[in-house]
Structures are given as structure tokens and as C-alpha cells.
Amino acid sequence: MHIPDGFISPSTSIVMLAISVPLWWYGFKKAKQNIDNDDSAVTFLSSMTAFAFMVMMINVPIPGGTSGHAVGMGALAILLGPWVAFFCISIALFFQAVIFGDGGILALGANSFAMGFIGAFGSYYFYEMFKNKLPNSINLFIAGYAGMVLASVVIAVLLGIQPMLFNEGGKAIYFPFDLSVTIPAIVGSHILVFGAIEGLATIGVVRFLSQIKEKIHAN
């Protein structure tokens, strides 16, 4: 799910950066509020960022010669609130891009927007929608599942519009497969498999950590 540099056009990357920078700034302010108001928040935010970093490294193979991974957006959104979750996921993506070459540096805006912003807000609002209406575990699963599938839609669209927007002489300049391929391949695999993996991760992590989360979810 990490778009590498060169797979989307520089203009696409810059548009996504322009969208993400003000969102990062607001997420940063929210994270800093947490840290300023609560001495234990540093440990908690660091741990959740580390969790997102690590869970994205756990590639799960599926039939057809491809793989995918959870992101942690469900657990982070529910435990930290969507803004701080988005910020923490973006920081994990930043380290992955800059140190480990996983996901592009110019593409960081696109990846953060999809997995961080859409993922965390998707998870959060689905969680709120069914809160107290469904058993908590089912609600946690739906939250993770929904955030993940929504994030995959953004990635599939960003990749799939490339050959439609940027081609010369019938040849793609960037990612060559259009929406008719990217939507079923990326969104389809997230609906069938990776959304469920995120859902299960959300249940496991929120249950494991719910004993200590109480004050941190302030904003």
C-alpha cells in the first residue's frame, strides 16, 4: 500500500503534499496538546507510532503472488482520536520512506493521506456510528475493516488515474494500469483479506490496551 516515488507523477505527489501539509500541522498541534497535558502521553503516542511502524512490516501473502499488511489505523483512531492517529501513522510512514525506502518520499503526502487521514477518519467515524449499537468487538472489527478499505480506494484511484492523465504515444509515463485494473486488484484484495486483518488487529490491540487508554483519548 506504500506508493513508491515514480509510480505517481510529481504533480500528483505535490497536490497530495499540499493537501497533507495543513493536515499534518493540525495533527501535530493535537498531538502536542496531548503531550503537554499529560506526561504519560509521550510513551503512549510513541508506542502507538511504533506499533503502526511494525504492523505495516508484517506482510501477509494472498493467492495470486501478492501480499498486504495491516496499518493500525483502527486501533490508533479509537485509542488516540483520528487527528493524532493520522499524525502518528504519518510519522511511521516518514521513517519507513526515509530510512527504509518503503514508500516514496515525494509520495509521503499521498501515502499519509490514504493510510493516515482517510484510514484513521474512516475507522473513527465507523466506530462512532455503531458505538453502543453493536457488541464492541464487532464494532472494533468494522472500524478497522472500513478504514482499511477506504484507504485502499484512495491508493487505487491515485495509481489508476496515472495512465489516464499521463501518457505519450500510447505508453504510460508512470503507473501503467488504469482504474479498471487497480480498483479490483487493490480494493478487491482489501475487501476480501486485508480489511479483515486490520479488523482483527483492531480488536486485539484495543482490547489489550483499553485498560490504559482512558485519559489519553481526551481530544
Partner 1 sequence: MQTKTLILFLLIMIALVPLGLISEYPAWGEWGIEEFQTMIGYIPHGMQNASTNAPIPDYEFHGLSPLWSTLISASIGVALSFLFFTAIKKTRNKN
Find the binder of partner 1 among 14, 21, 26, 59 (CB under 8 A): 59
Q: What is the largest CA-CA distance in the chain?
A: 59
- Check: CB of residue 7 under 8 Å from CB of residue 96: no
Q: Over the Cα atoms of the chain, what is R_g?
A: 17
Stretch binding partner 1 (CB under 8 A), from 14-22, 88-96, 116-124, 125-133 = 88-96
Helix or strand or coil: residue 168? strand
- Check: CB of residue 3 under 8 Å from CB of residue 104: yes
Residue 66 is given by DSSP the state E
Residue 61 beta carbon to partner 1: minimum distance, rounded to whole angstroms = 4
- Under the binding rule (CB under 8 A), the answer on residue 76 touching partner 1 is no
Find the binder of partner 1 among 16, 27, 53, 83 (CB under 8 A): 53
Residue 14 beta carbon to partner 1: minimum distance, rounded to whole angstroms = 14
> Taking CA 85 as the corner, what is the angle to CA 202 and CA 135, rounded to the nearest 5 degrees?
30
Say how far residue 151 (Cα) sits from the centre of its chain: 6
Cβ of 200: how many Cβ atoms within 10 Å?
17
- Under the binding rule (CB under 8 A), the answer on residue 16 touching partner 1 is no
Lay out the site mask for partner 1 across 150-189 (x = CB under 8 A, - = otherwise).
Answer: ---------x------x----xxxxxxx----x--xx--x
Find the binder of partner 1 among 17, 19, 105, 200 (CB under 8 A): 105
- Under the binding rule (CB under 8 A), the answer on residue 69 touching partner 1 is yes
Find the binder of partner 1 among 23, 24, 27, 51 (CB under 8 A): 51
Stretch binding partner 1 (CB under 8 A), from 15-23, 125-133, 139-147, 208-216 = 208-216
Whole-angstrom distance, CA of residue 120 vs CA of residue 114? 9
Cβ of 193: how many Cβ atoms within 10 Å?
17
Helix or strand or coil: residue 62? strand
- Check: CB of residue 144 under 8 Å from CB of residue 123: yes
- Under the binding rule (CB under 8 A), the answer on residue 118 touching partner 1 is no
Whole-angstrom distance, CA of residue 143 vs CA of residue 194? 13
- Under the binding rule (CB under 8 A), the answer on residue 209 touching partner 1 is yes
Cβ distance to partner 1 smaller for residue 23 or 93? 93
Residue ranges binding partner 1 (CB under 8 A): 1-7, 9, 31-32, 35-36, 40, 42-47, 49-51, 53-55, 57-61, 65-69, 91-92, 95-102, 104-105, 159, 166, 171-177, 182, 185-186, 189, 205, 208-209, 211-212
